[in-house]
Amino acid sequence: MQKITPFLWFDGKAEEAMNFYTSIFKNSKVGNVTRYGDAGPGPKGSVMSATFELEGQEFFALNGGPHFKFTPAISFFVKCETQKEVDEFWEKLSAGGKTNQCGWLQDKYGLSWQIVPNILGELLQDEDAEKSTRVMKAMMKMEKLDIKGLGPVNTKA
């Protein structure tokens, strides 16, 4: 059992967001869904809260209303093995949202994600300081991260 679970506050879009996220990640599933009854405060039958899993990570979604919004101060970091994986997550998660510098995006619900190739950490920590500086400068010019554009690396693309 997971001890800490990210709790996501939506304004009427919890079920839609849950279905969106579970459609993107291969190892995912919908958990428990609680719907409003006659007592409200939401429309009867609409989702009050739901749990779902993405790649083994449990999430809790609540339709809490318009009081709070997501900010980039909290984001989900998606580790990618290949450029193909970076491209797929980038395309799907940014659809209807907006892209930002250095592999960051906000999805159509305002939730921030970082889509990052695993090799980036290795390149930024390379013993060759000039190489790591070149990688950092290249990354700073990118929105979606491009493994080949980060410099010569021996990795799967």
Contact assessment for residue 128 and residue 98, using Cβ atoms and an 8 Å cutoff: no
| CA–CA distances in Å: residue 117 to residues 24, 37, 108, 110, 146 | 17, 44, 22, 22, 8
CATH code assigned at 41: 3.30.720.100
Q: Which tens digits make up the pLDDT trace of 91-150?
A: 999 999 999 999 999 999 999 999 999 999 999 998 999 999 999 999 999 999 999 999
Contacts of 83 (CB under 8 A, 6+ apart): 117, 146, 147, 148, 156, 157
Residue 137 lies in a domain: yes
Q: How many domains does the chain have?
A: 2
Q: Which tens digits make up the pLDDT trace of 46-77?
A: 999 999 999 999 999 999 999 999 999 999 99
Q: Which domain covers residue 17, as residue numbers?
A: 7-63
Same domain, 59 and 88: no
